[in-house]
Every structure is written in structure tokens, then in C-alpha cells.
Structure 1
Amino acid sequence: MPEPLKNLLHPALVRAMAEIIAAGAPSFDSDRFTALATGGIESLELMERAALIRDALLATLPENFPQAATILRASLPVAGKVGLTGWMLLPVNQFIAARGLEHFDIALDLLKALTPHFTAEFGIREFIHQDQPRALATITRWVDDPNHHVRRLASEGTRPRLPWAMRLPQLVRDPSPILPILTALMDDPEDYVRRSVANSLNDIAKDHPDLVAAFIAEHIEEASPERRWLLKHASRTLLKKGHAQALANFGFGAASALECELRLPKPSVLFGEGLDFEIRLRNAGKASQSLMIDYAIHHVKADGSLSPKVFKWKTVTLTAGEDHVVQRRHAMRPITTRRYYPGEHRIAILINGTETATGSFVLSMPAEVVVG
């Protein structure tokens, strides 16, 4: 089993934080900080542990934020000197968000300095929420920063629906203020930054599908392979849902005169094994067709109803009269993000966003298997 995420923050890490901060600030009460930041930590989950350490920072760093910011900046790594880095900086993000709102410029500058050593995407969101125009005015300037971590912060920190972080309701309602940031970073030389841009656009697509489809259409003409990948990754939610404009952006029109047969060799699957299936396609039309083939598993829920999950598969181009057979095995094994239940499940083949063939299979659950 993988190590639980909560163990990324642990007592030894807290003690190391205390030593690093005290090295640059002799008046820092490292013993009190350590006691506060480790008391009961073992029973807490990851974000609760971060909040516990944040509260210990609030209790032991100066209440004067500029003074506290000076101490924290001096605690960051420099050449030849160990400093706060990695997961140590998650609670520091939270500290800056809690105490720095009345010192906007100092706080944003500290978050910018912090992000190369971890990320500041969590801390920056409180500032966007409090004063979006002021925060975005500063963040927009970061798109030209020589450090790619800072450039990524400009896109990742402004994502409307960033996982593990507070949502930005103003940007959920109206994402137009961040589109210039995403446009400026769309051709960034770092894949790390471009992936963030794609994820932000995908966030926006969940609330404004037509806006993102139109944005993609505007920027896909003569796109480089890197930009085209970004735009397709940004469209993944729209493509799974069969959004017509999103499909058209990548050359997938409505399939016509297409024959599709789904075959399931076994009508039942034992949990822990896999569902084998194949589809037999025939282009009965008179012209070539580009086909985006996905499939959806409709999982049984606790109440017996079905909940679909779409999985990306492959793309093919069939000439007129061409036959094509595609095979797949879908694993049915324990994962942390889904609870499985026995019973009759449904599978649907989606071609260019349209359900084209369906079938069903029974999932059986051995008594000794614990699912979750």
C-alpha cells in the first residue's frame, strides 16, 4: 500500500522547520512551536496537519506581518544553505494567507519567492478572493518571469477549481480576467507550465463549455504540436461529454454510416481481474471518417443506481468501406477514488461523443476482498 499522504507532514519535519527558522531568528521560540505543531498531529489528515502547523506559526512568529515575512524569507533555501522547502511550505502558505491580507504587496512578493521551493498556489488564492483586480494586476506580470515556477504560479494559482484548495467563485462565474494570463503562457517553453494552462482551461470548461470551445477554435489554427497537445488536453472534459464544437476543433464530426458491434467474451467479471471487450467497426459510408473512440463504465452505486465514468481510448481514421477491430481490457481492481459494488454494470462505446453500442456485465465480489 502507498504511504498515506498525511505522512508528508510529520513530527521530524516540524522539528526541522523549527531549526531552520531559529537559525535566522534567534528569538524564535522553537520549543513552543514544536510542541504546538506536533500536539495530536498523528490523528490528523494532511490538510488538518498543515492547519495545526500554521496555527503554531501564528502563535510563535511576530504578529507584525512584515517582520514575520522577513524571517520566513530568510528561512528559504539559498545557495549552500538549507532552508524551508517542499511540504514544509504548505503551512507557510496558509500562514501568509491568514496574516498577510493587510500587507498585500509584501505577502504576494513572499509567495512569489516561496513558489520555486514548493508552490504558492494555495496561499495566493485568499488574495485573489479578497481583491481580485489588485491580485491579478500583480500576477499578470509574472507571465514574463525568468523562473518557470513563478510563471506556473500565474496559471495554477488562478485556476477557478484548483483541487485541495478554496474555489474562486468570482472566476468560476466569470473567468475572462484570467484568459489573458493563459493566452500569454500557452506557448511557454516549459511543459510544466503548459500543463497548468491546460488544466485551468479544463476547469473553466466545466462551467463555461462554449467559451472554452470557442477559445480553442481561436488558437488551434496552425498550432505547434505542443500547443495542439495543450488545447486537446484542455478540451478533455468537453470531448468526453461530446461537445459538438470541441469535437469539431479536432476534426471529429458526427459519425455517419458507421457500423459498430460490441462484443463481451465473458458476461461476468471477478473483482480484481479485468473486463475484456472488443468492438468491430465498419465505415459503410463513401468518405473517410476520423473517429474518437471512448467508452463509459456505468458503475453500480450503493443504492443500486448506475454512475457513468468515461475513459479515453483511441482515435482512428477509417477509409470508405474499411473494417477495424479494437480490443481492450479494463481493470476492475481496488483504487482509492472509487468504491465498487457487485451487480450488473453497463458499458457504452462512445464514438465522436455519441453512444454507439452498449452491453452489460456482472461484477462479482469475493468475500475476502475489501473494496474502497
Structure 2
Amino acid sequence: MPEPLKNLLHETLVGDMADRIAANAPSFDRDRFVTLATDGLGSLELMKRSALIRDALFATLPDNFTKAAAILKASLPTAGRPGLSGWMLLPVNQFIAARGPDHFDLGLDLLKALTPHFTAEFGIRSFIHRDQERALAIISGWTGDPDQHVRRLASEGSRPRLPWAMRLPQLVKDPAPILPILTALIDDPEDYVRRSVANSLNDIAKDHPDLVAAFIADHIEDASAERRRLLKHASRTLLKNGHARALANFGFGAAASLECELRLQNAEVVFGEGLDFEIRVRNAGEAPQSLMIDYAIHHVKGDGSLSPKVFKCKTIMLAPGQSHAIERRHAIRPITTRRYYPGQHRIAILVNGAESASESFILRMPSPDPR
């Protein structure tokens, strides 16, 4: 079983963190910091552990943010000398997010210095929330920075719906102010940065699907292979949802004269096993067709209604009269993001976003162990 994320912040890390700050601030009360930062640490989850360590920074760094920022910046790694890095910097993010916006330029400069050693995407959001126009004016200038981590921070930190981080409601409502940042980074030489751009666009697509589909259309003509991959990744939610313009951006028009058949190998599935099925498609038309074949599992919810989840399957080109068969097994096993209920579920085949075939199957939960 994977190590729980909360264990990334532990007592040894706190001690190392204290040593690295104390090396740059003789007046820093190392022992008090460790005592405060480890009091009850083991009983907390990841973000609460980070908040506990942040609170210890509040108690032991100078109240004057200019002085505290100077200590933190001096405590970052330099050539040949270890410093604050990795998960040590998650609570530092939280410290800057709380204290930095009252010292706007200094706080952002500290986050820029921090991001090559971990990430500053969590800390930067309070600045955007406080004064979006001022923050984005500074952040936009980072798109040309020689450090890829700083360039990525410009796109990742401004994502409207960044996981684990505070939401940016103004950008959820109107993402137009960050589109110039994403445009500036769309052909960044680093895949690390381009993936962030794609994720930001995918965030926006959840609230403004037509806007993102139009953005993709404006940037896909004569696109390089790298840009095309970025744009397709940015369109993943739209493509799963069958958004017509998004599909058209990648050459998937409405399927015409298409025969689609779905065969289930087992109409009943015991939880923990899998649903085996076969898809057969045939192009009965007179022109070649580019087909994006996905499938949706419509899960039974606690109230008896069905909730669909779309899964990618295959992209093919079929000549007139050509057929193609696909065999799949969909595992139905315990996962942390879904609770399963017994009963009649449904599987639907989606071709270019349109449902083309479906069948029902029964999910049975295993009998309790009598022991």
C-alpha cells in the first residue's frame, strides 16, 4: 500500500527545517519551533500538519514580514549548501499566503524565489484573490523567465480550480485575464510548463466550454505536434462530454452511416471483478470516418439514480465498409473516489461524443465473510 501523503511532513523533516532556518537567523528559537510544530503532528492529515508547522513559523519568525521574508529567502538552497526545499516549503507557502499580501511585491518576489525548490502555486493564490489585476500584471512578466519553474508558476498558480488550493472565484467566473498568460506559454520548450497550460485550460472548460473550444480552434491551425498534444489534453473534459466544436477541432464530426454493436461477456459482475465487453463498429458510409470511441459506465447511486463516468477507449480511422473490433475489461474494484452500490448499472458506447449502443448489467456485492 502506498505511503500516506500525510507522512511527507514528519518530525525529522521539522527538525531539518529548523536547522536550515537557524543557520541563517541566529536569533531563531529552534527548539520552540520544533516543539510547536510537532505537538500532535502525528494525529493530523497532510494539510493540517502543514498548518501546524505554519503556525510554528508565525510564533518564531519576526512579526515584521520584511525581516521574516529575508530569513526565509536566505534559508533557500544555494550552490553547495542545503536549505529549505521539497515538502518543507508547503507550510512556508501557507505562511507567505497569510502574511505576504500586505507586502505585495515582496511576497510575490519571495514566492518566485521559492518555486524552483518546490512550488509556490499554493501561496500565490491569496495574492491573486487580494488584488487580481496587480498580481496578474506581475505574474504575466514571469512567462519569459529563464527558469521553467517560474514560468510554470505563472500558469499553475493562476488556475481557477487548482486541486488542494483555494479556488479563485473571479477567474472561475471570468477567465479572460489569464488567457494571455496561457497564450504566451502555449509553445514553451518544457513539457512540464505546457502540461500546466493544458490543465489550466481544462479547468476553464468546466465552466466555459465554448470559450475553450474557441481558444483551441484559434490555436490549432498549423500547430506543431507538441502544441497539438497540449490542445488535445486541454480539451479532454470537452471531448469526454461530446462538445461538438471541441470534437470538430480534432476532426471528429458526427458519425454518419455507422453501425455499432456492444456485446457483454458477463451480464452480472461481482464487486472486485470486472465487466468484459466487446465493441464492433462498421463504417457503412461512402467516405472514411475518423472515430473517437469512448465508453461510459452509468453507476447506481445511493438514491437509485445513475451517474455516468466516461473512460477513454480508442481512436481509429475507418475506410468505407471497414469494420473494427475492440475487447475491453473494465475493473470494478474499491477506489477512494467512489462508493459502489449493487443493482442495475449501464454501459454506453460513445462514438464522437454520441451514444451509439448500450447494455445493462447487474453489480452484485460479495456476501459478508461469515467468520
TM-score by length of 1: 0.97
Which stretches of structure 1, 4 residues or more, deviate above 6 A after TM superposition? Answer: none
- 1:155 is matched with which residue? 155
Matched, 1:317 2:346: no
- 1:69 is matched with which residue? 69
The Cα of 1:11 is off from its aligned counterpart by 1.3
**CA deviation profile, 1:337-362 (whole Å, cap 9, x unmatched):** 22222222110101100111101111
- 2:42 is matched with which residue? 42
Q: Distance in 1 between matches of 2:10 and 2:300?
A: 38
- 2:82 is matched with which residue? 82
- 1:173 is matched with which residue? 173
Coordinate RMSD, CA, aligned: 1.0
- 1:295 is matched with which residue? 295
Amino acid at match of 2:121: E
List aligned pairs for 1:183-194, cutoff 5 A. Answer: 183-194=183-194
- 1:328 is matched with which residue? 328
Amino acid at match of 1:209: P
- 1:199 is matched with which residue? 199
The Cα of 1:368 is off from its aligned counterpart by 5.2
Q: Distance in 2 between matches of 1:230 and 1:192?
A: 11
Q: Distance in 2 between matches of 1:367 and 1:84?
A: 51
The Cα of 1:39 is off from its aligned counterpart by 0.9
Q: Distance in 1 between matches of 2:314 and 2:280?
A: 14
Unaligned runs of 5+ in 2: none
Amino acid at match of 2:173: R
Q: Distance in 1 between matches of 2:126 and 2:113?
A: 17
Give the secondary structure class of the aligned counterpart of 1:304: coil
Q: Distance in 2 between matches of 1:293 and 1:362?
A: 23
- 1:235 is matched with which residue? 235
Percent identity at matched positions?
78
Give the secondary structure class of the aligned counterpart of 2:160: coil
Q: Distance in 2 between matches of 1:316 and 1:81?
A: 53
Larger mean Cα displacement after TM superposition, 219-228 or 312-321: 312-321
Give the secondary structure class of the aligned counterpart of 2:31: helix
- 2:337 is matched with which residue? 337
Matched, 1:121 2:121: yes
Give the secondary structure class of the aligned counterpart of 1:57: helix
List aligned pairs for 1:227-306, cutoff 5 A. Answer: 227-306=227-306
The Cα of 1:275 is off from its aligned counterpart by 1.1
Q: Distance in 1 between matches of 2:86 and 2:139?
A: 22
The Cα of 1:304 is off from its aligned counterpart by 2.3
Amino acid at match of 1:205: A
Unaligned runs of 5+ in 1: none
The Cα of 1:303 is off from its aligned counterpart by 2.4
Q: Distance in 2 between matches of 1:5 and 1:299?
A: 29
Give the secondary structure class of the aligned counterpart of 1:356: strand
Give the secondary structure class of the aligned counterpart of 2:101: coil
Q: Distance in 1 between matches of 2:6 and 2:301?
A: 28
Q: Distance in 2 between matches of 1:72 and 1:184?
A: 31
Q: Distance in 2 between matches of 1:81 and 1:368?
A: 57
The Cα of 1:330 is off from its aligned counterpart by 1.0
- 1:131 is matched with which residue? 131
